[in-house]
Copies of this chain bind each other. A is one copy, B any other.
Amino acid sequence: MLYHVRMDVRLPPDLDPAERADLITREKAYSQKLQRAGKWPQLWRIAGEYANFSILDVADHDELHTLLSGLPLFPYMDIAVTPLAAHPSKVGAGS
């Protein structure tokens, strides 16, 4: 099932640079593992902001929450989840 997710990162400017670099490295590895597993099929940077729009494709709400709350940056993020349904005007969706 598809979920639209917006993530806004609020890293404190005075975070220790080594800790910051480590967080970002782990976040990238975590994200890419999920992308390669097909669970995070879309990921875009919102231009001008430390934020992204993502599409996650997981079995259910519990898997979604497990994946999102496991993000290394989760304690520094505001996250908004929107469940996505099929659109009747979508080409190929029975039209």
User: Size band of the A side of the interface?
Assistant: 35 or more
Q: Are B85 and A44 touching (Cβ within 8 A)?
A: yes
Q: How far apart are the CA atoms of A31 and B90 in the complex, in Å?
A: 8
- Residue from B49, B82, B85, B95 in contact with A62 in the complex, judged by beta carbons closer than 8 Å: B85
Q: List 13 A-B contacts (CB under 8 A).
A: A4-B46, A13-B76, A28-B89, A44-B85, A45-B84, A45-B86, A46-B83, A47-B65, A48-B81, A50-B69, A53-B82, A64-B83, A81-B83
Binding site for B on A (CB under 8 A): 1-5, 11-13, 27-28, 31-32, 35-36, 42-50, 52-53, 60-62, 64-65, 68-69, 74-76, 79-91, 95
